[in-house]
A = this chain, B = another copy of it.
Amino acid sequence: MPETEFDVLGIGNAIVDVIARAEDDLLVAENLVKGSMNLIDEARADLLYGAMGPATEMSGGSGANTIAGVASLGGRGALFGKVADDQLGTAFAHDIRALGVHFETGMLSGGPSTARCLIMVTPDGERTMNTYLGACQELGPADIDPHVVAAAKILYMEGYLWDPPEAKKAFLEAAKHAKAHDREVALTLSDSFCVDRYRAEFLDLLRSGTVTLLFGNESELHSLYETADTETAMAALEADCPFAVITRSEKGAVVLKGGERVAVPAAPVEKIVDLTGAGDLFASGFLFGLARGFDPETCARLGGLAAAEVISHFGARPQISLKELAQQNGLPV
């Protein structure tokens, strides 16, 4: 394998989060399923925003959050994602570059605005997300720089990329280059409703060997195999994919690799403030560890620690150095 410049390259929807505290009443009134991600158009975005309280704007996007976490651990990250050349797009680009992440996807001019995710955080810490994809719909194969793909140990993509029509082509283009350079290709299932929309395609990515490392939580896994039984789903996944990680909230994570299973407990959290980014940051730790050659258990512990940090505060990006946090917890970085 030739030398690599990056630990992890992410491809994801480049989104600015608009986060507000909300009462359960708002979810009921707006007919929203708690904990879900809903795709909305601009008119619905304006309507929901009008119903939300004062908000905070922070860079988000599932894959981008993961790469931000990799950088916070001291890893070398790169990201492909499409923003517009507007104020929110400028903020997104600033925030990811300020972490030292390589982010050079061209900004969109004269098209839809930068994507926004209206996030309602209820008092239980759950987040309900409403995404206006905007400029993300313009990410396509032309945005894939093959040199960057070749220069990254791991290519990591979000299932949400199946929503904007051109982005899945970008995903497949990137996967082709990654395979040509013998890189690991990882996918996160993103959301159980997303899995429901693209079940056949996601299974095909696994069964064709395009994706060789899968991330998902229990409800996404249940959706993928249309079962309510985790053991049934895990057995099916083991047949479809050589390497997978199932996150189980406070029950920790299970790594499935080559017929072996490793269960790792969750890292303790004093108070859950906002669950946004939990899965994204778990992937940060796991992927960083993998790129550095650590064993699956250590990778999962790094993931659990990063997830615990991000749910202890508002917002989906780490607020402290994850590298220092890992060192304080006796984990290698």
Residues of chain A whose beta carbon lies under 8 Å from any beta carbon of chain B: 18, 21, 49-50, 52-59, 68, 86-88, 91, 94-96, 98-99, 113-114, 315, 317, 319
Contact = CB atoms under 8 A, between A and B. Distances in A.
A113 B87 contact: yes
A58 B16 CA distance: 13
A149 to B, nearest CB: 25
Contacts of A98: 52-55
B54 A317 contact: yes
A178 B317 CA distance: 46
9 contacts: A49-B94, A52-B98, A53-B99, A54-B94, A54-B317, A55-B91, A56-B57, A87-B88, A87-B114
Contacts of A55: 91, 94-95, 98
Contact of A99 (B54, B59, B315): B54
Nearest to A71: B54
Q: Report the copy number of this chain in the oligomer.
A: 2
Nearest to A113: B87
B54 A59 contact: yes
Q: Select the residue from A54, A55, A96 with max chain B CB neighbours within 10 A.
A: A54
Contacts of A87: 86-88, 113-114
A59 B56 CA distance: 8
A166 B202 CA distance: 59
A145 B309 CA distance: 48
A315 B314 CA distance: 12
